[in-house]
Amino acid sequence: MLWLIRRNFRDIGPAAFVLRSHLIHIVRSHLEYNNSVWAPYRKSDIDKLEKVQKRATKMIQGMGNFKYPERLRQLELPTLAYRRNRGDMIVTYKLLSGLYDEH
């Protein structure tokens, strides 16, 4: 997915919001697909997933010189580990509150 975005938006210039939107909607959705069933717990698996987001944030013009936490801050994106933990808390709350349909 990163390759497709890079190929099609190679000369996008300073329009970082377009790449940010593609990052959120296309790339991250693939990285987070079915996290509640397949939750990576090994450090190597977590690092591989986070590495994809690191590469994606570097693709945005002007972000390549910043460290990863600063790029996330400027793009207002959380880490994938944070999103997994948040998703787990939401699922747990819904289970304990009886908000899931039994069917």
- Is 52 inside a domain boundary? yes
Please tell me the least confidently modeled range out of 10-14, 26-30, 37-41, 82-86: 10-14
- Is 17 inside a domain boundary? yes
Q: Measured between alpha carbons, how far is 30 from 52 in angstroms, rounded to an integer?
A: 10
- Is 102 inside a domain boundary? no
Cα distances from 6 to residues 9, 23, 40, 60, 85, in angstroms, run 5, 11, 27, 10, 29
Cα distances from 21 to residues 18, 26, 36, in angstroms, run 5, 8, 24
Q: Which domain holds residue 23?
A: 2-97
For the stretch 14-32, pLDDT in tens is: 555 666 777 777 777 777 7
For the stretch 61-70, pLDDT in tens is: 788 899 999 9
- Is 103 inside a domain boundary? no
The structural domain count of the chain equals 1
Which stretch of DSSP H or E encloses residue 14?
A: none
- Is 80 inside a domain boundary? yes
* Percentage, residues of the chain above pLDDT 90: 11
- Is 30 inside a domain boundary? yes
- Is 79 inside a domain boundary? yes
